[in-house]
Amino acid sequence: MNWISSNIDRIVSLTISHAWLTLAPTILGLIVALPLGWWAHRSGRGYAAIVGTAGLLYTIPSLALFIILPVILGTKILDPINIVVALTLYTVALLVRVVADGLSSVPHDTVAAAEAMGYRGWQRLVLVELPVAVPVIAAGLRVAVVSNVSIVTMAALLGIPQLGSLFTQGFQLRLYVPLITGIVLCVVLAVVFDGLIIWLNKLLTPWRQRTVTS
């Protein structure tokens, strides 16, 4: 326990980098996945192409992707940008399909009613279909953010500081305390981000509570 109190500053700064390295790609991934998912939803061929590419992207282990990306992007191996880009790719791969399936899950009656009320094109997408698809997208986002918290730790093997650095330190010193501190903080981060998405989902879909209570 002495170890924790004497390293508290470092633990806090590692947690902050970890949170940043997780949140940035999750948000970027969502921003990219929304238009791509909409396109996949609209065109059958687009759906097959996107689901196929996404599946293939997943098969590439994260450590390998962290090293291959600098070759493609021309960045330095220790640049955290590589981690952000890699996790954004994974997030997009996961969410594109979720967004497409979410938009397809909007009941035809709802779409028809919106059309009858005079919503058209973009208006209907942004004001009706997207809000109705929010719960499905939120479910996918939860999986994405929890996996991202865990994948970020791999960057410790390259020497990019975040909570995974506590794992490698625990191994080098053969000490349980840093290792377990790191694991616990990862789980805490995952639970916090997961809860944040559940809360946002509730906030964005106020009509769902009403249907449950009535």
Partner 1 sequence: MNILDWFTDPANWTGSGGIPSQIGYHLMYSAVALLAAMAIGVPLGVYIGYTGRGEALVAGFANALRALPSLGLLILLFLIISPVVTGKLVYVLPTIVVLVLLAVPPILTGTYAGIQNADPDAVGAARGMGFTKSQILLRVQLPCALPLMISGVRASTLQILSTATIAAYLGLQGLGRFILDGRATANFAEMAGGAILVAVLAIVLEFSFAWLGRIIVSPGLRRVASKDSSPLATTVLEPAT
Residues that bind partner 1 (CB under 8 A): 55-56, 58-68, 71, 77, 90, 93-94, 97, 101, 143, 146-147, 149-151, 153-154, 156-159, 163-164, 167-168, 170-171, 174, 176, 179-180, 182-183, 186-187, 190-191
Residue in the block written with tokens 């990019």? 160
Nearer to partner 1, 35 or 159 (CB): 159
**CB neighbour list of residue 110: distance below 8 Å, 6 or more residues apart:** 128, 129, 132
Nearer to partner 1, 108 or 210 (CB): 108
Q: What's the min distance (Å) between Cβ of 197 and partner 1?
A: 14
Query: Which of 190, 182, 187 shows the shortest CA–CA distance to 3?
Result: 182
Q: What's the min distance (Å) between Cβ of 12 and partner 1?
A: 19
Nearer to partner 1, 27 or 157 (CB): 157
Q: What's the min distance (Å) between Cβ of 37 and partner 1?
A: 14
H helices then E strands: how many in the chain?
11, 0
Nearer to partner 1, 131 or 159 (CB): 159
Measured between alpha carbons, how far is 202 from 206 in angstroms, rounded to an integer? 6
Nearer to partner 1, 76 or 120 (CB): 76
Range 179-188 contact pairs with CB under 8 angstroms and sequence separation of 24 or more: 181/4, 181/11, 182/153, 185/11, 185/15, 185/18, 186/18, 186/149, 186/150, 186/153
Q: What's the min distance (Å) between Cβ of 178 and partner 1?
A: 10
| First and final C-alpha spacing in the chain | 51
Nearer to partner 1, 37 or 164 (CB): 164
Measured between alpha carbons, how far is 155 from 161 in angstroms, rounded to an integer? 8
Which residue spans within 3-131 are E strands per DSSP?
Answer: none
106: which DSSP letter? S
Q: What's the min distance (Å) between Cβ of 53 and partner 1?
A: 12
Q: What's the min distance (Å) between Cβ of 97 and partner 1?
A: 7
